[in-house]
Structure 1
Amino acid sequence: MTEIFGIPIQAFLGQLMLGLVNGAFYAMLSLGLAVIFGLLDIVNFAHGALYMVGAFVSWILMDQWGVNYWLALVIVPLLVGALGVVIERTMLKRLYGLDPLYGLLLTFGLALILEGIFRDQYGVSGQSYPVPEALQGATNLGFMVLPNYRAWVVVASLVICLGTWFLIERTRLGAYLRAATENSKLVQAFGVNVPVMVMLTYGAGAALAALAGVLAAPIYQVQPLMGSNIIIVVFAVVVIGGMGSILGSVITGMMLGIIEGFTRVFYPEASSVVVFAIMAIVLMVRPAGLFGKEA
């Protein structure tokens, strides 16, 4: 049997695939955080809770209404994005211009409320969500067996992340959004409705979190703590990539997922802390993050 660094190649590639899947979720969630922070200057601690809500809503739609996975991929981001719009209009808009700490505390409180609601209703035991029939099974590549659904998650997350980056960095709409963060009054003078843009930006960030939740539902157990379990790692990813750097969040998320997977192979005890060790090193060498702009 072929080995890599003394480890059977199947086990090695299996951990690589697991790292890619985890990295795909890190990238999607850190992307939403980076969009909201970069454009609205809000440290959105409710992002993990919105990810959990997305997974739960997809499970509820399937369990009670018979809505299939493919339809949930469309419906759930719209529903949770609408919830994000309500949050922005009723709460966050009152904090603009204040210290970012107020936004962090508000969104942290919202995360606790959402988590408490679902924990009270469904308990802490996980709910299973079936893999869609079209993506069941695996493909034998010769050197490894690749689960079809996990491959779909990696490809879908990359397409979504790169599409979001292109929208914000390479289109006129993205230019308006970036300009509004620098000088909202000037942009508004050109006839752009900045408050609506801000509202839709937060809603889009919430929709991205919900979309990640739908993709995660068939892989992980759908349960109230799934957001809080991942959000701390995602914040570390955003800090390493550079707060507000969209491309940095995507690249760093995938990279750290792979590093985490390899760490499980060579030194399993360190797999839960390797991301934070990397964050500490990066902050000492480059406080703005790998892709962030120095102040």
Structure 2
Amino acid sequence: MMNIFGTSSQALFGQLLIGLINGSFYALLSLGLAVIFGLLNIINFAHGAQYMMGAFVGYLLLQKLGLGYWWALALTPLIVGMIGLVIERFMLSRLKQVDHLYGLMLTFGIGLMIQGLFLSKFGAIGQPYPIPPELAGGKSLGFMFLPYYRIWVIGASLFTCLATWYLIERTKLGGYLRAATENPALVQAFGVNVPRMVTLTYGFGVGVAALGGVMAAPMYQVSPLMGADLIIVVFAVVVIGGMGSILGSIITGFGLGVVEGLTKVFYPEASNTVIFVMMALVLLVKPSGLFGSQK
């Protein structure tokens, strides 16, 4: 009985850890989506490809320039974020006066192009990326083994999410951003360059996705399809949390990761669909999402 109980406990805590890891990436990616949609009204279907691009930029910095994980962590969001600036400035900004559906279709096409370019260059086989030596190994807690890198990912993701929430909801810059979505002409009258602010906001959201890609690289093989496999779940997380709700994306991302992990323990057959079932139920009860505002 004790042996069975011990094995079950180990499986439970192991899946809880995996759920928190998955939730970290759900929260990071849905955070970037929420920032872009909430402040720019753009449904960024290229987000999964930009996450994948972040993992590959980190991989190329290591393979071609010999830069380690920490340099990649600092440089990759800037590099991919600047690519996002170009996309917004020369493509998305031209669609401001038309229906938002055109922006969705454009970003969907951009995502397919990015994925196709990396597939043609690297193929579908994943590329390995080593865990930084400082975070290698882990600690045995008796009932489970706790890898240091996974704890780092959870902590770094939580810090990034909360810092972004604070920036947008509690600072003057965030106030300008929110005001610019409601009345850009009025904000422009106060001397704020609204188009530049919009471009930088999109670049920031893309940079957050790229940061998630670098953090995922040592845990999963770097593959052109890694974003496509994840983005569908992330969109479900955003819908459940509420489109444009930053706090909703953070809480829902981590929460659904844990729910998914627990489902793998108690009812494994439903682990791949539980998030989508919850999305359907939330949409039936509250179409604006758990934390979304009813308009």
Range of TM-score over shorter length: over 0.9
Question: Residues of 2 paired with 1:3 and 1:91: CA distance?
Answer: 58
Alignment deviations for residues 29-71 of structure 1 (CA, whole Å, 9 cap, x no partner)? 0000000000000000000000000000100110111110001
Question: Residues of 2 paired with 1:20 and 1:57: CA distance?
Answer: 25
Partner SS for 1:73: helix
Question: Residues of 2 paired with 1:250 and 1:25: CA distance?
Answer: 10
Give the deviation of 1:2 after TM superposition.
Answer: 6.8
Q: Match of 1:42?
A: 42
- AA at the equivalent of 2:203: G
Give the deviation of 1:3 after TM superposition.
Answer: 6.3
Give the deviation of 1:7 after TM superposition.
Answer: 5.9
Question: Residues of 1 paired with 2:121 and 2:151: CA distance?
Answer: 33
TM-score normalised per structure 1: 0.98
Give the deviation of 1:119 after TM superposition.
Answer: 0.2
Whether 2:194 is the aligned partner of 1:194: answer yes
- AA at the equivalent of 2:153: V
Partner SS for 1:127: coil
Q: CA RMSD in A?
A: 1.1
Unaligned 5+ segments in structure 2 are: none
Q: Match of 2:214?
A: 214
Question: Residues of 2 paired with 1:203 and 1:107: CA distance?
Answer: 14
Alignment deviations for residues 227-283 of structure 1 (CA, whole Å, 9 cap, x no partner)? 010000000000000000000000000000000011111111111111000000000
Q: Match of 1:262?
A: 262
Question: Residues of 2 paired with 1:97 and 1:293: CA distance?
Answer: 24
Q: Match of 1:165?
A: 165
Question: Residues of 1 paired with 2:99 and 2:14: CA distance?
Answer: 45
Give the deviation of 1:99 after TM superposition.
Answer: 1.2
Partner SS for 2:178: helix
Give the deviation of 1:144 after TM superposition.
Answer: 1.8
- Runs of 4 or more consecutive aligned structure 1 residues displaced over 3 Å after TM superposition: 1-4
Give the deviation of 1:143 after TM superposition.
Answer: 2.7
Unaligned 5+ segments in structure 1 are: none
Q: Match of 1:51?
A: 51
Question: Residues of 1 paired with 2:157 and 2:165: CA distance?
Answer: 12
- 22-31 or 7-16: bigger deviation: 7-16
- 133-142 or 38-47: bigger deviation: 133-142
Q: Match of 2:12?
A: 12
Whether 2:142 is the aligned partner of 1:129: answer no
Partner SS for 1:8: helix
Question: Residues of 2 paired with 1:19 and 1:93: CA distance?
Answer: 37
Give the deviation of 1:140 after TM superposition.
Answer: 1.7
Do the aligned residues in 2 keep the contact of 1:18 with 1:261 (CA within 8 Å)? yes
- AA at the equivalent of 2:218: P
- AA at the equivalent of 1:145: F
Q: Following superposition of structure 1 onto structure 2, how do residues 63-142 of structure 1 map, counting pairs within 5 Å?
A: 63-142=63-142
Question: Residues of 2 paired with 1:98 and 1:56: CA distance?
Answer: 33
Do the aligned residues in 2 keep the contact of 1:2 with 1:9 (CA within 8 Å)? no
Give the deviation of 1:141 after TM superposition.
Answer: 2.2
Do the aligned residues in 2 keep the contact of 1:43 with 1:103 (CA within 8 Å)? yes
- AA at the equivalent of 2:76: V
Q: Match of 2:144?
A: 144
Partner SS for 2:187: helix
TM-score normalised per structure 2: 0.98
Do the aligned residues in 2 keep the contact of 1:187 with 1:194 (CA within 8 Å)? yes
Partner SS for 1:146: strand
